[in-house]
Amino acid sequence: MAKIRKKPKKSINKNINKKSFTQSTPNIAEKLDNEMVAFLDTEFLTSQIKGGPPAKLVSVGFVVCGKNFEEVTRFHSYIYAEDKLHDRFQEMTGIERKDLLSAPDYELVMEEVAEQLEAWEVSRIYVWGPDKYVIQRDLLEYRKDISKRTRKIVNRIFRMIKDIEGIYSAKLDLQSAGIGSLKIICGLGTEVSHNALDDAVDLKNIIRHIDLKGCPEQMLQIMKKYTSEKEVYYRLRRFREKWDDVSEGIQEKTLGLLKELGKVDTVEAMALRDDLLVMCTGEAMAFPTLEEYIQNPLDYEVEEIDLDDVKTEKILLGFRSLNGVEISLFNEEEMKKIDDLIQYNKIYIENNRVFNKNFLLSDELALYILD
């Protein structure tokens, strides 16, 4: 358990809900002129099974600060647990089973948390995300044998916690963002340690930056575009593993299509390309991280094209997607070729749009019609 500086104790009961933090004034910096607040984070063990047991609290960390976000103390402790830790949890948090087996038990940790909050007259605890919910569910699910005194203490702490994710996301006009993304937007680095204390300090630094300096408008716009394109990408993705029955001939044609898709700078083309890669190679594909995306989000080359080029691009993209191509784009000669392809069951017409039946042949069919 971390060493801490102590102040003379005052009753924690007098500080709980003493002053409210309303959504109309999402500015913690203003509260710090007259109050002490804490920024808190937890680490919790989740089930690897869908619909499994609730998350279990295994670590808590917080930082207490006053005016201008000046820190007065930090606290961190693991919480005793005998649970087996899955590999992903250990890799992400760096927590090992021996850390939890040698940790203080839940009651000791939570009583120490309460003591420090009381000593520093903390009026509010701020979290980002599900920590408040996790603490509550953990208490109900796993701490049924604790003393009434400890249960009362934890409930007091619970009432002091305020999740500010929604408030500050709205303040930044963002749908939602994690601590890692906010650090990047604020220029505070790119690493997130998933250590409860480190993440609590990160949260404090992020809120200080937002309240006192604000976030660059360009970075916020990039974040909005990134979030939107990431959502579209995963909505369009269909495949997650290699197809066993893909012939060498199809794979060879796919490589040619992938080369062409690489020239198309749209999120739709990226999703289709990555699906094809997974189907043919089994290579796991994912949307770029925000850090990768920011390195080159607005660097586009402008290419001047004539009306014939525009028509070609529309047909190529239409045949590569489920959108199809407006039939009015084709001239009389091209419509004859379309009729031929319909007879060979390669394409079809529906609602005055021409649709391709096989994405692997999309470029060949389009170029045949246009030739």
- pLDDT digit string (tens) for 121-157? 999 999 999 999 999 999 999 999 999 999 999 999 9
CA distance 119 to 122: 8
Decide if 186 contacts 215 (C-beta within 8 A): yes
Residue 14 has pLDDT above 80, yes or no: no
Q: pTM of whole model > 0.75?
A: no
Identity of the highest mean pLDDT range in 101-105, 186-190, 282-286: 101-105
Average pLDDT, the chain: 85
| Stretch 309-334: mean pLDDT | 84
Beta strand pairing status for 325-326 and 353-356?
Answer: antiparallel
DSSP string, 295-348: HSSS--------HHHHHHHHHHHHHTSTT-EEGGGS-HHHHHHHHHHHHTTSEE
- pLDDT band for 41, please (50, 70, 90 cuts): very high
The packing angle between helices 217-236 and 179-186, to 10°, is 140
CA distance 288 to 227: 11
The residue with greater pLDDT, 57 or 11, is: 57
- pLDDT band for 83, please (50, 70, 90 cuts): very high
In this prediction, residue 320 carries a pLDDT of: 80
First to last CA, the chain: 74
CA distance 207 to 182: 9
- Cα–Cα distances (Å) from 344 to 43, 330, 349, 356, 366, in that order, read 60, 19, 13, 12, 15
- pLDDT band for 178, please (50, 70, 90 cuts): confident
Residue 186: CB atoms within 10 Å: 20
Residue 19 has pLDDT above 70, yes or no: no
Domain borders along the chain are 12-215, 216-299, 303-371
Q: Which CATH architecture has domain 12-215?
A: 2-Layer Sandwich (3.30)
Per-residue pLDDT tens digits for 260-289: 777 788 888 888 888 888 877 777 788 888
